[in-house]
Amino acid sequence: MPATESASSPQRVAVIGAGMVGLATAWFLQERGIQVTVLDRTAVAAGASWGNAGWLTPGITTPLPEPAVLRYGLRAVLSPSSPVYVPPRADARLLRFLAGFTRHSTAARCSDHERC
């Protein structure tokens, strides 16, 4: 028996939430022979998974503060039709965050990552 399993491993589990994470967890457990029941208060992918269209893809992740994201982000933040629109206002915390994000969104900072 592998070190990660024990003689008392559960044979039946309930997964709360039928979003991407809940369903991926249920699938993973079923692949290992565990009987799974998935519970959700509404429907499959009715919450955040519906909003993000089910993007759970670690294979295509990149560091967020990278030069291309900064260019796109500036346009998106200023566009009222964008999902990340931020209404212009004087907010010291927001300005500090944006300044730090910009400072880290350089090719030099991103060079350690293969996808930048």
Contacts for 75 with CB less than 8 Å, ≥ 6 apart: 82
pLDDT at 105 over 90: no
Q: Cα–Cα distance between 70 and 84 in angstroms, integer?
A: 13
Q: Output the pLDDT for position 14.
A: 96
Q: DSSP for 33-51, please give it.
A: T-EEEEE-SS-TT-SHHHH
- And the tokens for 9? 């491993």
pLDDT per position as a tens digit, 63-100: 566 777 777 777 888 888 887 787 888 889 888 888 88
- For the segment 41-48, the average pLDDT, to the nearest whole number, is 81
pTM of the entire structure? 0.41
Q: Output the pLDDT for position 11.
A: 93
